[in-house]
Amino acid sequence: SCELTQPPSVSVSPGQTARITCSGDALPRKYVYWYQQKSGQAPVLVIYEDTKRPSGIPDRFSGSSSGTTATLTLSGAQVEDEADYYCYSTDSSVNHSAFGGGTKLTVL
């Protein structure tokens, strides 16, 4: 199945580097997408196809993937980056898509 596992929470001080992981057996075969969701708002794509950043997303956001684990890195996290972050991927072998459980990032 396409099950993705994230840590429930990550906490950093402003200016520090935050890393959020996403683990799943299908990840070596499939791209990972990362979404940021602030309270009361729709999700916003911050990383697509493992490592690419949409226009308008600050370059402190980066993505990487190795084996069964993908990582979203915020280099120099800002208070405004506080949000829930979700990884997303698909697994065509089981015709299934899924989000990770989400990680609450606290910057204070």
Using CB under 8 A as the criterion, which residues of the chain lie in contact with another protein when the complex forms? 35, 37, 42-45, 48-49, 52, 54-55, 84, 86, 88, 95-102
Closest to another protein by CB, 2 vs 77, is 2
Closest to another protein by CB, 76 vs 101, is 101
In whole angstroms, the minimum distance from the beta carbon of 107 to another protein comes to: 20
What DSSP line would sit under the chain, residue for residue? Answer: ----B--SEEEE-TTS-EEEEEE-TTTTTS-EEEEEE-TTS--EEEEBTTTB--TTS-TTEEEEEETTEEEEEETT--GGG-EEEEEEEEETTTTEEEE---EEEEE-
